[in-house]
Amino acid sequence: MMAKAKKTAKKLKSSKKSKARTKPAARKIAPKMTAAKSVSKTVFNLPQAAIPVAGTDLMFPIRRIYCIGRNYAAHAIEMGSDPTREPPFFFQKPADAAQYIAPKTIGVHPYPTLTKNYHYEVEMVAALKSGGKNIKARDALKHVYGYAVGIDMTRRDLQGQMKDQKKPWEIGKAFDKGAPIGPIFPVAKVGHPSKGAISLLVNGEVKQKADLSQMIWSVAEQIEKLSQAFELKAGDIILSGTPENVGAVKKGDTMIARIKGFPDLTLKIV
Q: Give me the residues that bind Mn ion (CB under 5 A), please.
A: 121, 152, 242
CB of 106 to Mn ion, least distance (A): 23
Residue at shortest CB range from Mn ion? 152
Q: Which of residues 111 and 169 has its CB atom nearest to Mn ion in the complex?
A: 169
> Could you tell me the CA-to-CA distances from 260 to 54, 123, 227 in Å, in that order?
16, 12, 28
In whole angstroms, the minimum distance from the beta carbon of 228 to Mn ion comes to 20
Give the chain's length.
270
| Residue among 82 and 139 whose Cβ is closer to Mn ion | 82
Kindly tell me which of 152 and 236 has the beta carbon lying closer to Mn ion: 152
Instruction: Indicate the residue among 130 and 163 with the shorter CB distance to Mn ion.
Output: 163
Alpha-carbon distance of 64 to 91, in angstroms, equals 11
Q: What minimum distance in Å lies between the beta carbon of 46 and Mn ion? A: 26
The dihedral through the CA atoms of 226, 259, 62, 179 has a sign that is positive
The dihedral of CA 113, 116, 120, 126: what is its sign?
negative
In angstroms, give the least distance from the CB of 75 to Mn ion.
8
Report the C-alpha gap between 151 and 98 in whole angstroms. Answer: 10
What is the b/e burial string over 201-215, where b = at least 16 CB atoms within 10 angstroms of the residue's CB? bbeeeebbebebebb
Cβ neighbours of residue 165 under 8 Å, at least 6 residues apart?
none
User: Are the beta carbons of 234 and 128 closer than 8 angstroms?
Assistant: yes
| Residue whose CB is less far from Mn ion, 51 or 65 | 65
Q: How far is the CB of 27 from Mn ion (least distance, A)?
A: 55
30 beta partners: none
d(CA 162, CA 170): 9
> Between residues 152 and 224, which has the closer beta carbon with respect to Mn ion?
152
Note whether 151 and 65 are within 8 A (CB): no
Comparing CB distances to Mn ion, the nearer of 53 and 127 is 127
Q: What's the closest the beta carbon of residue 260 comes to Mn ion, in angstroms?
A: 19
Q: How far is the CB of 120 from Mn ion (least distance, A)?
A: 10
